[in-house]
Chains A and B, each alone.
Chain A
Amino acid sequence: QSALTQPASVSGSPGQSITISCTGTSSDVGGYNYVSWYQQHPGKAPKLMIYDVSNRPSGVSSRFSGSKSGNTASLTISGLQAEDEADYYCTSYTSSSPFVFGTGTKVTVL
């Protein structure tokens, strides 16, 4: 099972919006609405930010939103803040291995 494809890095200025893509296949992202997104600050454990493509757990800022079109899922961070600087990973349920993670995206706040 190959990792889902994410851009290595995305950057934006405070207050701007950025979008991170997560591309898979019809056997994972495209075949199921079980895409979730995780935020990881350096030296910390990942934190669930979005699940089931577009749902936010309680306590996660509404500035984070998710969507999906075909085999590509996306995470959008609006009103970018300094605290959003972190690594972000998508994951999807798959028809073979239960789960596959994305390659990860480093978000930099300029």
Chain B
Amino acid sequence: EVQLVESGGGLVQPGGSLRLSCAASGFTFSTYWMHWVRQGPGKGLVWVSRINSDGSSTRYVDSVKGRFTISRDNAKNTLYLQMNSLRAEDTAVYYCVREVGLRFDYWGQGTLVTVSS
């Protein structure tokens, strides 16, 4: 059974940092491209970042470029999102998502990040 379990969310002050993790199981993690998608409170889904299967290529939505870094450890079957210089508008549930054929077929349960003083 495919499972994606996010962790690392919490309350952080504006300007602070947080690292999210996503533990993957039930599939060959190293062969899939992975994404982070976020959803602000009461708001819609927003694509945040993508990493290819071996970690050599990454992409970001403009609003997080230069502040967020996506990475992965295929030996540990884990996806990461390092978030720096956090702003109030980054407050959201962050989902770890598996991509296959340009669609998102499995989603984690999400981890809540709250940026507030």
Contact = CB atoms under 8 A, between A and B. Distances in A.
Q: Is the interface of B mostly helix, strand, loop or mixed?
A: strand
Interface stretch (B18-26, B66-74, B79-87, B95-103): B95-103
Interface in A87-105: 89, 91, 93, 97-104
Contacts of A97: 47, 59, 61-62
Nearest to A6: B44
Nearest to B93: A45
Contact of A104 (B45, B95, B105): B45
Interface residues of A, number: 24
Of B45, B50, B107, the most chain A CB neighbours within 10 A belong to: B45
A89 B108 contact: no
Given A45-B95, A45-B110, A97-B61, A57 B105 contact: yes
A64 interface: no
Contact of A52 (B50, B59, B103): B103
B103 A89 contact: no
B47 A48 contact: no
Interface of A: 1, 3, 34, 36, 38, 40, 45-48, 51-52, 57, 89, 91, 93, 97-104
7 contacts: A3-B46, A38-B104, A45-B107, A45-B108, A46-B107, A89-B45, A99-B47
Given A47-B107, A51-B101, A97-B62, 10 more contacts: A1-B61, A3-B44, A3-B46, A46-B45, A51-B103, A52-B101, A93-B102, A97-B47, A101-B37, A104-B44
